[in-house]
Amino acid sequence: MAFQAKHRSTIQCIGNFGFYDFNYDGIIRHGPNRTEKNVPIKEKWITQPLDHFHLYSREWKMRYLENDNYFNGSGPIFIMLGGEWQIGEHYLQSGLIHDIGFEHGALMYKTEHRFYGKSIVSQYTGVEFLKFLNVDQALADVAYFIEFIKEEKNLRDRSVIVFGCSYAGNMAVWMRLKYPHLVQAAYATGAPVLAKGNFFEYMEVVTASYKKHSEECVTEIAKAIKSLEEMLLTEKGLTAIKEQFNFCILPDTSTISGYGTLIKILTNKIVGAVQKNNVSYVCQMMTDKSLKTSLQRLAQLNRESEDCIRANYTILVCLMRYEPWHPIISSQRQWLFQTCTEYGYYPTTDSDNSMFGAFNVTLEYHTKHCRDVFGKEYNEHFLSRGIKRTNLMYGGKKPDVRNVLFVNGNRDPWHVLSVLEDLNDSSPSILIDGSSHCTDLGNFQFSDSLNLLFARYRIRQIVGKWIQSGYGEFIDPDLKAVRAET
């Protein structure tokens, strides 16, 4: 009864929230846009220790997916790592990795990260359980999985290549770093391997991406931001914002939390479109002359339905405090915990090179969110220590690795925290002009740019050399010349 009473108010929050997605700035969750081959995919489970670093530990079930349709008996093992989302069959049925695996007769897997999707460690997500949600344990899960598969399939001599997008791209790099005896090569796309608290560069890349697309669009967005800035100063202006943007209640801007949450709601579509490579849609809306003012266009962009927007900071915290397992809340609560303890990754407006500079969304807003959800000890000092540890343990932008390929798009805000120059002759970096977050993993489209097509060609070439050379450290004499030409 006490447990039910504790979470009764949160259950009410769930009904009132509507899951307006303003809290999550991170990882792309979808795969290729279409499936070219309808091959059967097997869902399987493996028993994992909750704590890999103590011999006596309770166990849980980790989900993984298997595509053994192309395996020729001598091909490599491909493992697409899951991040902070529920894994699906995409990438095992279509897309670049699928096609490379098909070409080389690979045995292909996709693993699900602990605490996400169906890989439920506990029906309760209190901090006492979330302490087992960290990359050290997640990497050990993958290591344990590799050993299990090799034993089960009698493939002790088979080489392994791991792949990952965004945070899962970090994991791919770090698997090669920490478990080189198990992983012979890694391909990481959009991987922000440098942990950083005040990630002001995120908004700088957003601004630059819109400028490259359309100066008129940037002008209209800037006008809308200026109008919002002025309206936020008065109660009359707040009332007008409530009506135009269809909020259920008057927005609260009296605290750093209320103000920051409102700004994230109002700019969510503009910011998110860059990572999703959907800037053209936003600009089409923001330059639509059928609506007289830029603010009206921004309001129209934010209207997803006729229902009013119920989200505010109080409701957000109420939701994120919900500790019983919930299929939607849990993924966001878990990822928030990881950012509060290991990575930061918090976009702020602390830059003069951002069109959002008029707003005041600071690191303090984000660290207060950590404290309000998980407890007072999860403060800025705690975050700083966690970030320092992550970069110390895994090398930041200078991991000591061989046979790792780093791929990024320069319109992806996350590329700023990734490796953008060749680490060595066997760990090259490819930067795709005009491309966004993990776009290289998708299917071929007639609309793909020449830069993207050439990057995919280079990726296939490099992975192919890994396989053909027996995973020795290859030196590509043409690599620097090719990069210079692009």
- Enumerate the domain spans of the chain: 42-193+397-485, 197-386
Cα distances from 229 to residues 262, 266, 463, in angstroms, run: 12, 11, 49
pLDDT over 90 at 476, yes or no: no
How far, rounded to the nearest angstrom, does the alpha carbon of residue 368 sit from its chain's CA centroid? Answer: 22
d(CA 243, CA 427): 53
Distance (Å, whole) CA 241 – CA 122: 42
Residue 30 has pLDDT above 50, yes or no: no
Ranked by mean pLDDT, which of 55-59, 170-174, 273-277 comes out on top?
A: 170-174
Instruction: Identify the residue with better confidence: 20 or 106.
Output: 106
Spatial separation of the C-alpha atoms in residues 359 and 314, rounded to whole Å: 20
For the domain 42-193+397-485, what is the CATH superfamily, name and number?
Answer: Alpha/Beta hydrolase fold, catalytic domain (3.40.50.1820)
Parallel, antiparallel or unpaired: strands 160-165 and 107-111: unpaired
- Please give the single-letter amino acid code of residue 169: G
C-alpha separations of 119 from 48, 62, 112, 292, 330 in Å: 10, 5, 7, 49, 12
Per-residue model confidence (pLDDT) at position 7: 54
Distance CA 67, CA 137 (A): 25
Q: What six digits make up the tokens of 328? A: 């939607």
Q: How far apart are CA 110 and CA 119, in angstroms?
A: 13
Helix (H) or strand (E) holding 363: helix 363-374
Provide the b/e sequence for 409-421 (b: ≥16 CB within 10 Å): bbbbbbbbbbbee
Q: Which two tokens stand for residue 96?
A: 């670049």
φ and ψ of 194, to 5 deg: -95, 115
**pLDDT above 90 covers what percent of the chain?**
75
Q: Does the structure show a pLDDT above 70 at 477?
A: no
Q: Which residues contact 276 (CB under 8 A, 6 or more apart)?
A: 28, 436, 437
Q: Which pLDDT band, with edges at 50, 70 and 90, does 1 fall under?
A: very low
Rounded to whole angstroms, how far apart are CA atoms 2 and 5?
Answer: 5
Residue for token digits 């934010």? 302
**pLDDT score at 251:** 85
Q: What residues have CB less than 8 Å from 169, skipping those under 6 apart?
A: 188, 189, 190, 191, 193, 418, 438
Give the model confidence (pLDDT) of 150-176 as tens digits. Answer: 999 999 999 999 999 999 999 999 999
Lookup: tokens for 141: 């899960």
Q: Are 82 and 65 in contact (CB under 8 A)?
A: no
Give the residue among 102, 88, 81 at the shortest CA–CA distance from 37.
102
- Rounded to an integer, the average pLDDT of 14-27 is 39
For residue 471, pLDDT over 70 is answered with no
| Cα 17 from Cα 34, distance rounded (Å) | 31
Please tell me the predicted confidence (pLDDT) of residue 13: 58
pTM of the model: 0.90
Paired tokens of 238: 């707040």
| End-to-end CA, the chain | 65
4 pLDDT exceeds 60?
no
H helices present in 80-134, as ranges: 96-103, 127-130
Rounded Cα distance, 363 and 332, in Å: 19
Q: What angle do CA 72, 75, 80 make, to 5 degrees?
A: 115
- Lowest mean pLDDT across 204-208, 289-293, 301-305: 301-305
- Residue 5 burial (CB < 10 Å; 0-12/13-18/19+)? exposed
**CB burial string 434-470: b at 16+ within 10 A, e below:** bbbbbbbbbbeeeebeebbebbbebbeebbebbbeee
